[in-house]
C-alpha cells in the first residue's frame, strides 16, 4: 500500500515515525495529563556516565583542555569594583574532532544507532551538530543525511550555515538544504520514514546524556587543579540541551553549589520562522529566538518529549546584543591568542561582565568554545550583515536594534548584560504546558512535575494555575 505523503498525512504519522526512528516508546513515561517521568526517560539510554565517557573516548571526543584566561581576567578587573573580578576559564571544546561540544551528543547517538543496527543517521540542524553527526557517523561507518534550514525564498543563505554544510559534506554526509519554514520538519519526517535511518536528534536522551560528560569533566578538572568546584558556569542557551546536559553532569560530579547561568544573544523583535527576517540576524544559534521558545516549551522539538529542559537547572538567564559577541571574539583572539567561533563567545561575553560582580577569589567558567573559519568567522558574518542593509557602528550596545544595526561597544566598559525575569519565563512554561495538554484541571503528579520542570515551588505553581483558572 502506497502511503499518503502530503503534509497533513505525514504530520499525522509523526509519532509513529519518531518511535521507529529513535527506538524509544515515549508513551511509557507518561504519567499525568502534563507530567512524564523525566529521569526514567534519561535512564532509558541504558548507559552510565562512565560508559558514555568510554564511548566518546573511542572516537577522540572529550577530555578537552581547561584554559585560564589570565589576560581577559586582568582586563575585567580594570572595570570591576575593588576586590571584584573572578578568574575566567574556558573549556576548549573546539579541540573535539568536529570542532565543538556537540561531538559529545553525536558520539553517543551514532554509537547507539550502530549498536541497534541502523544503516544511517539523520539530523535536522543548521549548526555545529550537523558536522558533529557527520563526523561521528563516518567513524562508525554509517550513512548520514543532514537537513538544513538554510535559505530565504530568494535563495540567499547565511555564510555561517553554508560553512556548516561544507563541513558536513567534507565528512561524507548528504546535505539537504531548505528554505525557512515548516518544510524542514516535514522533509525530516519523510526522510526518516523512507530511509529507516536513526533519528540522531539533539533532544533525545542519548544526545543530552552525551553532554553530561562535559559538566562532569569541568568539576573533575577543577577539583584536580584548584581543589574546588567553580562558583559559576556560563552556558550558551539555544535549544537547551547544552545547559541541561552540562548541569546534569555537574550535579553528578557533586558540584551542587555551582551557579548555572544561561546566556543568549538578544534578537528581540526578529522572528526566526519569518522568511523576510531570516537573514536579518547575524547569529544562527545561541540567541533568544531559540532560547526563549525552547525554555518556555521544550517539547516543540523533533521528539515527543525533549530531554533538553533548561528551566530545570537554570539559576540565572542573561542576554546582550550581537555587537558585544563580535567584540569579545576579537578580544579573545587579540589578548589571549585564541581564535574561536561566536557560539562559545556568547557565554564568554556574559562571563566577562559577570566576573566583575564576583569576588577575585571566585571562579567563573565558559563551558565551551567552537571552531571558526570560512563563513563562521566574524568578518564574513559582518559583511553579510552589510549586504542586507544592516548598519555596523561603534558605540553604545543599548542603541542596537536587531535587524537594523549591529553596535560594537566603544570599549570594554560598554559591555552590558540584561537579566531576564526567570519567573516570567516559568509562568510562560506553565501556561504552555496547560494549553498544549488542553486541561482544565491538573493532577498531583502534574503539580510535582511542574515544580521540577520550572525549578520553583508548589506555591508558585499553584499561584500561576490560579491566574490561569486551572484547577488542581
Report the percentage of the chain scoring pLDDT > 90.
79
Is residue 406 within 8 A of residue 383, CB to CB? The reply is no
Give the chain's mean pLDDT: 94
The 10 Å Cβ neighbour count of residue 155 is 9
Q: What's CA 187's distance to the chain center, in Å? A: 22
CA atoms within 13 A on the CB side of 65: 8
Q: What is the DSSP letter of 22?
A: H
Query: Of 172, 190, 205, which one is at a domain's C-terminal end?
Result: 205
Q: Per residue in 166-186, pLDDT tens?
A: 999 999 999 999 988 888 889
With 80 as the cut, is the pLDDT of residue 32 above it?
no
Q: Are residues 342 and 393 in the same domain?
A: yes
Q: Does any domain span residue 1?
A: no
The 10 Å Cβ neighbour count of residue 451 is 16
With 90 as the cut, is the pLDDT of residue 25 above it?
no
46 to each of 22, 24, 74, 104, 384, how far by Cα in Å? 14, 11, 45, 16, 45
Distance separating alpha carbons of residues 274 and 301, to the nearest angstrom? 18
Q: Does any domain span residue 388?
A: yes
Q: Are residues 249 and 213 in the same domain?
A: yes
Beta bridge partners of 94: none
Q: Are residues 182 and 220 in the same domain?
A: no
pLDDT computed for residue 421 by the predictor:
97
Query: Of 184, 205, 226, which one is at a domain's C-terminal end?
Result: 205
Q: Are residues 31 and 177 in the same domain?
A: yes
- Tally of domains in the chain: 3
Q: Does any domain span residue 210?
A: yes
Q: Per residue in 243-271, pLDDT tens?
A: 999 999 999 999 999 999 999 999 988 88
Beta bridge partners of 406: 392
Mean pLDDT of 376-402: 93
Q: Per residue in 208-235, pLDDT tens?
A: 999 999 999 999 999 999 999 999 999 9
With 70 as the cut, is the pLDDT of residue 1 above it?
no
Distance separating alpha carbons of residues 203 and 238, to the nearest angstrom? 12
pLDDT computed for residue 152 by the predictor:
87
Q: Are residues 334 and 450 in the same domain?
A: no
Q: Are residues 353 and 367 in the same domain?
A: yes
Q: Are residues 322 and 181 in the same domain?
A: no
158 to each of 20, 277, 278, 308, how far by Cα in Å? 33, 12, 9, 26
Q: Are residues 135 and 250 in the same domain?
A: no
- Does residue 441 sit in helix, strand or coil? strand
pLDDT computed for residue 324 by the predictor:
96
Q: Does any domain span residue 163?
A: yes
Angle CA(384)–CA(279)–CA(179) in degrees, nearest 5?
Answer: 125
pLDDT computed for residue 356 by the predictor:
98
Distance separating alpha carbons of residues 88 and 205, to the nearest angstrom? 31
Is residue 48 within 8 A of residue 40, CB to CB? The reply is no
Q: Does any domain span residue 218?
A: yes
**Residue 33 sits in which domain range?**
7-53+100-205
With 90 as the cut, is the pLDDT of residue 41 above it?
yes
Q: Are residues 334 and 407 in the same domain?
A: yes
Mean pLDDT of 78-84: 97
With 70 as the cut, is the pLDDT of residue 236 above it?
yes
Q: Are residues 151 and 226 in the same domain?
A: no
- CATH value at residue 242: 3.40.50.1100
Q: Does any domain span residue 47?
A: yes
Q: Are residues 191 and 151 in the same domain?
A: yes
With 90 as the cut, is the pLDDT of residue 314 above it?
yes
The 10 Å Cβ neighbour count of residue 102 is 32
Q: Are residues 267 and 324 in the same domain?
A: yes
Q: What's CA 395's distance to the chain center, in Å? A: 29
Query: Of 174, 205, 236, which one is at a domain's C-terminal end?
Result: 205
pTM equals 0.96
Distance separating alpha carbons of residues 177 and 463, to the nearest angstrom? 45
Q: Does any domain span residue 36?
A: yes
- Does residue 143 sit in helix, strand or coil? strand
Q: Is 169 exposed, middle or buried (0-12, 13-18, 19+ CB in 10 A)?
A: middle
Q: Does any domain span residue 2?
A: no
Amino acid at each position: 500500500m502506497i502511503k499518503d505523503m502530503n503534509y497533513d498525512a505525514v504530520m499525522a504519522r509523526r509519532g509513529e515515525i519518531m518511535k521507529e526512528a529513535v527506538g524509544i516508546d515515549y508513551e511509557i513515561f507518561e504519567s499525568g495529563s502534563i507530567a512524564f517521568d523525566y529521569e526514567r526517560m534519561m535512564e532509558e539510554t541504558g548507559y552510565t556516565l562512565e560508559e558514555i565517557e568510554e564511548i566518546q573516548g573511542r572516537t577522540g571526543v572529550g577530555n578537552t583542555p581547561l584554559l585560564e584566561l589570565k589576560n581577559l581576567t586582568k582586563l575585567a578587573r580594570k572595570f570591576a569594583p575593588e576586590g571584584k573580578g573572578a578568574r575566567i576559564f574556558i573549556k576548549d571544546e573546539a579541540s573535539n574532532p568536529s570542532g565543538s561540544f556537540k561531538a559529545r551528543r553525536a558520539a553517543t547517538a551514532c554509537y547507539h544507532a550502530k549498536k541497534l543496527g541502523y544503516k544511517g543517521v539523520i539530523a535536522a540542524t543548521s549548526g555545529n551538530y550537523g558536522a558533529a553527526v557527520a563526523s561521528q557517523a563516518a567513524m562508525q561507518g554509517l550513512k548520514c543525511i543532514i537537513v538544513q534550514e538554510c535559505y530565504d525564498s530568494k535563495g540567499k543563505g547565511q555564510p555561517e550555515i553554508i560553512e556548516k554544510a561544507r563541513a558536513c559534506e567534507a565528512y561524507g554526509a548528504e546535505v539537504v538544504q531548505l528554505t525557512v519554514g515548516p518544510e524542514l520538519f516535514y522533509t525530516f519526517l519523510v526522510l526518516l520514514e523512507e530511509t529507516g535511518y536513526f533519528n540522531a536528534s539533539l533532544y533525545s536522551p542519548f544526545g543530552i546524556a552525551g553532554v553530561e560528560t562535559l559538566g562532569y569533566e569541568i568539576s573533575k578538572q577543577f577539583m584536580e587543579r584548584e581543589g574546588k568546584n567553580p562558583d559559576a558556569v556560563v552556558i550558551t542557551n539555544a535549544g537547551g540541551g547544552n545547559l541541561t546536559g552540562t548541569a546534569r553532569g555537574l550535579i553528578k560530579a557533586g558540584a551542587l553549589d555551582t551557579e548555572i547561568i544561561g546566556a543568549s544573544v538578544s534578537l528581540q523583535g526578529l522572528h526566526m520562522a519569518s522568511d523576510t527576517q531570516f537573514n536579518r540576524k547575524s547569529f544562527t544559534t545561541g540567541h533568544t529566538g531559540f532560547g526563549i521558545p525552547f525554555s518556555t516549551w521544550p517539547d516543540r522539538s523533533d521528539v515527543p518529549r525533549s530531554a533538553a529542559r533548561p528551566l530545570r537547572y537554570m539559576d540565572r538567564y542573561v542576554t546582550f546584543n550581537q555587537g558585544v559577541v563580535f567584540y569579545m571574539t576579537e578580544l579573545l583572539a587579540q589578548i589571549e591568542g585564541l581564535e574561536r567561533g561566536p557560539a562559545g563567545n556568547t557565554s564568554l561575553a556574559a562571563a566577562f561582565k559577570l566576573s566583575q560582580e564576583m569576588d577575585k577569589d571566585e571562579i567563573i567558567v565558559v563551558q565551551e568554545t567552537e571552531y571558526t573559519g570560512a563563513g563562521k568567522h566574524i568578518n564574513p558574518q559582518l559583511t553579510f550583515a552589510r549586504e542586507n542593509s544592516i548598519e555596523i557602528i561603534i558605540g553604545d550596545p543599548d542603541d542596537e536594534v536587531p535587524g537594523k544595526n549591529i553596535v560594537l561597544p566603544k570599549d570594554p566598559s560598554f559591555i552590558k548584560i540584561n537579566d531576564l525575569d526567570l519567573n516570567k519565563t516559568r509562568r510562560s512554561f506553565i501556561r504552555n504546558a496547560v494549553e498544549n495538554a488542553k486541561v482544565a484541571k491538573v493532577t498531583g503528579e502534574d503539580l510535582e512535575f511542574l515544580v521540577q520542570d520550572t525549578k520553583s515551588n508548589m506555591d508558585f505553581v499553584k499561584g500561576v494555575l490560579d491566574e490561569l483558572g486551572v484547577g488542581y
